[in-house]
Amino acid sequence: MLLEVQDLHVEFTSRDGLVNAVNGVSYAVDAGQTLAVLGESGSGKSVTAQAIMGILDSPPGRISKGKILFRGEDLLTMGREARRRIRGEKMAMIFQDALSSLNPVLPVGYQLGEMFRVHRGASRKESKAAAIELMERVRIPAARERVGDYPHQFSGGMRQRIMIAMALALEPDLIIADEPTTALDVTVQAQVMDLLSELQQEYRMGLILITHDLGVVADAADVIAVMYAGKIVEHAPVDALYKRPAHPYTKGLLESIPRLDRKGQDLYAIKGLPPNLARIPPGCSFHPRCPIARDRCAVDVPPLYEVAPDRSSACHYWKETIGD
Amino acid sequence: MTEALLEVRDLVKHFPLTQGILFQRQVGAVQAVDGVSFTLAPGETLGVVGESGCGKSTVAKLVMSLEKPTAGEIFYKGEDITRLSGRALKAVRRNIQMVFQDPYTSLNPRMTVGDIIGEPYEIHPEAAPKGDRRRRVRELLDVVGLNPEYINRYPHQFSGGQRQRIGIARGLALNPEIIVADEPVSALDVSVQAQVVNLLDRLQNEFGLSYIVIAHDLSIVRHISDRIAVMYLGKIVETGTETQIYDHPTHPYTQALLSAVPVPDPEQSALRERIILTGDVPSPANPPSGCRFRTRCWKAQDLCARVEPPLTVPAPFPDPATGAHHPSACHFAEEKQHVSGA
């Protein structure tokens, strides 16, 4: 297995007290596989990614429990230098907002070349040539002329492709993409997602795709982990999850998508709001919003029940949910 | 069709580009909106879709009279509001209200919810007598599904979805006839978006409102709109009823836009035909000659660079009974089905 997250807990200290952003998350990604982590704001999907990359703001953040195994080696116990070499060389991250992730006062070619200078000890000339090649790889037109341009001179879609180029520079084994297309227009989003999955297949990389968009997930992912209030509530192969969701939250999300045959009717809406992470409801954290919650749900924390050999659901009544 | 409540004719808005500090001279213009016409009937929802920079938000500002158009007319009940000013303009504005995209920046953090929703009454005191305003605000809170007891709270004490409800309540305060909603749900969490869409729907039925909904989420636009206008670089490229646009699109841009929307169903997603456009939207300061979409269009020919296609029903679709019979600004309009997942 390329990457395995085991029972990860992350907490933040804040004015409201201890905030449990991630409460026992486990997932795994293999080479060439795409895992989509789906969740709303505050579900802990980005915090988990930051913990894997080792870029968690700490303090106030702290990994209080768990393991992150990269090719069997625990990233959390290894030394700083060893970890730094893995980050960048072996795993890379693509952020949502390319404009704020690129340095505005340096040419993009210089920033792309930096990867080779820092990690590979390349000269300026070599790194510039490598930067041009990368820009061509991600289909920036006239790469040779534009290598000296600054981030603001590129469009949003091109900046995101430069971010992808930067992540790919050292041919990492794992890429974490945190909402890579959320800031882009739909026609450009389609271009960027296509490019990303094409390159992923070519290099046989593992991809963790963090998103809130059920449509993007259906197009790109192999496996989905749905997160709610810092926990994985459902974990399943894409087709199975869309066809028969086994958790009321997933089911609610899928049903709230406007559909042709329900035009003119009310949309299904999950009642209430996502919980405050400093005051996560007891028992199942989704129970105050759940249409099938019973008394037990307010007390018993549901474990991840095995629904099928490759899928699981954290709902006491998953049989009922999946059944109808 | 019933008589139009609002009619927009050949609306143009160019923002000048200037050079020099002391002696500014105009060196060009951003052609944000360039000849847009549409109508809005009472109780109807018009959806305006398009990518960033297509001019959809500028259209909203023009309709709200927040910007003066460079040319063109906006008729509200037969009266051209672009020529109005002072008291007459104020009277019209009362009937056209706006709901903004970002509920975090469109509410004043130093004002209580009661003051925010009640502020329109300060500007239009004739709308409600002073003694009655608090009661009206409580009523509005109830209408949008918030606890009337929250009247003295501040915006930061609410979630995004609740704030959007406050913004909607403010828009309703003066009993307007038209509400212009610029991306009303795009800043909200997925599970909360449906709640707000349902609220907008309910309010429309309850108060007989007309909506102009500007959005980039095509599936939500489809759900709430009766008619749709697709914009590209300051122009409407295709317009028609919801079924005409989604099931029988004839303009290549509409087809590409629909096919690019990710479908939340892996089976469907594998079946449909995808059109991936190359390149980015050109700058509105320097739009292409002829058809503005030709630089990204797979059907473009010499004609497209020379002659701008008019927004009329294309000749190949003369039968009004077919779905493809609706205005589309393309020389080579062709019907394409099954591109939409929405």
Domains along chain A?
3-228 (3.40.50.300), 245-323 (no CATH)
Tell me the C-alpha distance between B276 and B258, whole Å. 11
Task: Out of A117-121, A129-133, A166-170, give the one with best mean pLDDT.
Answer: A129-133
Global ipTM:
0.75
A77 touches chain B (CB under 8 A): no
A216 touches chain B (CB under 8 A): yes
The proportion of chain A whose per-residue pLDDT surpasses 90, expressed as a percent, equals 46
Q: What are phi and psi of B31, to 5 degrees?
A: -90, 75
Residue A262: the pLDDT is 64
Q: How many residues does chain B have?
A: 342
A70-99 residue pLDDT tens: 998 899 898 888 888 888 789 999 988 777
B322 touches chain A (CB under 8 A): no
Give the count of beta carbons closer than 10 Å to the beta carbon of residue B25. 8
Question: Measured between beta carbons, which residues in chain B are less than 8 angstroms from residue A187?
Answer: 51, 256-257, 260, 276-277
Is the confidence at residue B187, as pLDDT, over 90? no
Question: Measured between beta carbons, which residues in chain B are less than 8 angstroms from residue A288?
Answer: none
Residue A261: the pLDDT is 63
Domains along chain B?
42-60+85-306 (3.40.50.300)
B269 touches chain A (CB under 8 A): yes
In b/e form, how buried is each residue of B69-89, taking b as 16+ CB within 10 angstroms? bbebbbbbeeeebbebeeeee
Would you call the peptide bond into A59 cis, given omega within 30 degrees of 0 as the criterion?
yes
Residue B1 confidence class, pLDDT cut points 50, 70, 90: very low
Count of A-B CB contacts under 8 Å: 121
The continuous run of DSSP H or E covering A252 comes out as: helix A248-255
Residues 121-140 of chain A whose Cβ lies under 8 A from any Cβ of chain B: none
Contact B266 A189 (CB under 8 A): no
Q: What is the DSSP code string of B123-138?
A: H-GGGS-GGGHHHHHH
Asked if residue A89 lies in contact with residue A170, where contact means CB atoms within 8 angstroms, the answer is yes
Residue B104: the pLDDT is 81
Q: For an interface test with A, give the residue of B52, B56, B186, B189 to mutate (most A CBs within 10 A).
A: B189
The distance from CA A270 to its chain's CA centroid, rounded to whole angstroms, is 23
Residue A215: the pLDDT is 84
**Of B217 and A210, which is predicted with more confidence?**
A210
Contact A253 B191 (CB under 8 A): yes
Amino acid, res. A64: S
Give the position of tokens 């893995």.
A86
> In the beta sheet, which residues pair with residue A59?
none
Q: Which of A243, A262, A273 sits opposite B159 (nearest CB)?
A: A273
Is the confidence at residue B258, as pLDDT, over 80? yes
Q: State if pTM tops 0.80.
A: yes
Q: For an interface test with B, give the residue of A43, A159, A187, A247 to mutate (most B CBs within 10 A).
A: A187
Contact B281 A219 (CB under 8 A): no
Is the confidence at residue A159, as pLDDT, over 80? yes
B288-342 residue pLDDT tens: 999 999 999 999 999 999 999 999 999 888 888 888 899 999 999 988 876 665 5
Is the confidence at residue B168, as pLDDT, over 70? yes
